[in-house]
Amino acid sequence: MKAPVIAVFAGGTSSEREVSSGSGTACALGLSRSFTTRLLPVVADALPEGYDPALHVVFSTLHGTFGEDGGMQRLIEAAGGVYAGCGVDASRLTMDKSETKRTVAALGVPVADGLVFDAASKPSPLDVERTLGVRVVVKPNNEGSSVGLRIVGDREGLASALAGVTPGRWIVERRIDGTELSVGVLGGRAMGVVEIRPNSGVYDYASKYTKGTTEYLAPAPIGDAATAAVKAAAETAFSACGCRDYARIDFILSPDGVPFLLEINTLPGMKETSLLPMSARCAGLDFAALVREMVAPAVERFRSGLASRQT
């Protein structure tokens, strides 16, 4: 049976287009070591030119809206195509931070207390202070890459953060001091835990994408018990949200060893130096091996569908 061509979708229309383009280039190169591969730029909220669902398995590196939220996945399914990664429902769910927290908390994964609001009806600083205190985090409910993230430590900062919210849905949650961690999940199993140490103390957009501003420790030097707790929480969260194939899951580890979930990234950054590849290297997978394993279940789904159509 003829092997499919891997179509790497990259770019997109979200605020994370530049990050996606870098991920797509790296993944196309890595996948080309195992598969015939094409890099297809996405320039609109539509299937890209050159995509053929009868020929291609999609490996999407689109980040943010209409990439990570299930929009593109829905179009691929409507065209009868096959893609790697989480399905439409899990993608939509995990793009919504508040719904993700509610879902995983129901299965015992710790989450920070918080409030969700629309910018048009945002709470007053006093309301937030009464409920959560002034040491909080304010961020968009449906964005990635720490877009719009504000770390607040006093009343003036809280008032400024709330005054600066733009239209859309937002979340404000109690700030948890601790160690920031990330773990990749592949086929439902957690890989290595990575510790993130931003020089500024805040892992915001600049700290993520400016060279030399953040130190990464892989594996994280947090001890066996904490490592096991983080991995167990990651696997529970992955399953609870109906994820498949792969994801990256981020936590804050409190001083007493409790892993609080921050978010689930179903289409995380995928340069060779990104967090998911770092996690994979802890488990003995180099970049080419990682992307091969990430797309392998979709290749099998493609072959199974083709076989059923030919019988």
Which listed residue (16, 68, 96, 143) is catalytic?
16
Q: Tokens 């420790």 identify what position?
A: 217
Give the single-character DSSP code of 86: -
Active site residue 209: yes
Which of 17, 175, 248, 281 is flagged as catalytic?
Answer: 248
The yes-or-no answer on residue 15 being catalytic is no
Three-state DSSP string of 158-208 = HHHHHHCCCCCEEEEEECCCCEEEEEEEECCEEEEEEEEEECCCCCCHHHH
Strands 246-253, 214-217: pairing kind: unpaired
Q: Does residue 201 register a pLDDT over 70?
A: no
Q: Domain 114-174 belongs to what topology? A: Dna Ligase; domain 1 (3.30.1490)
Q: Which residue type sits at 210? A: T
Where does the pLDDT of residue 106 fall: very low under 50, low under 70, confident under 90, or very high at 90 and above?
very high
* Catalytic residue status for 265: yes
pLDDT digits (tens, 9 = 90+) for 143-193: 764 667 899 999 999 999 999 999 999 999 999 999 999 999 999 999 999
Q: Are strands 114-118 and 246-253 parallel, antiparallel or unpaired?
A: unpaired
Neighbours of 7 (CB within 10 A): 26
Can you give the pLDDT at residue 149? 87
Percentage of the chain lying above the pLDDT 90 cut: 84
List the catalytic residue out of 174, 205, 209, 235: 209
Catalytic, out of 98, 250, 274, 279 = 250
Q: What is the pLDDT of residue 310?
A: 44
pLDDT above 50: residue 43:
yes
The whole-model pTM stands at: 0.91
Domains 5-85+294-310 and 93-110+177-266 share a fold: no
Superfamily assignment of 93-110+177-266 in CATH?
ATP-grasp fold, B domain (3.30.470.20)
Question: Is 145 an annotated catalytic residue?
Answer: yes
Q: How confident is the model at residue 265 (pLDDT cuts 50, 70, 90)?
A: very high
Backbone angles phi, psi at 93, to 5 degrees: -60, -50
Q: Which of 60, 91, 145, 207 is catalytic?
A: 145
Residue 129 designated active-site: no
d(Cα 86, Cα 207) in Å, to the nearest integer?
A: 27
Answer yes or no: is pLDDT of 15 > 90: no
Domain boundaries, the chain: 5-85+294-310, 93-110+177-266, 114-174
Sign of CA dihedral 277, 242, 300, 310: negative
Instruction: Decide if 269 is catalytic.
Output: yes
- Residue 210 pLDDT level (bands cut at 50, 70, 90): low
Please identify which of the residues 269, 274, 281, 292 carries the catalytic annotation: 269
- 263 assigned to active site: yes
Residue 30 is a catalytic residue: no
CB 104 within 8 A of CB 241: yes
* Fold of domain 5-85+294-310: Rossmann fold (3.40.50)
**Strand, helix or coil at 286?**
coil
Number of helices (H) and strands (E) in the chain: give both, helices first: 10, 13
Helix, strand, or coil here: 77? helix
Q: Which of 173, 204, 245, 263 is catalytic?
A: 263
Rounded to 5 degrees, φ, ψ at 152 are -115, 140
Which is the catalytic residue, given 14, 91, 265, 274? 265
- In the numeric block, the tokens 């060893």 are attached to 257
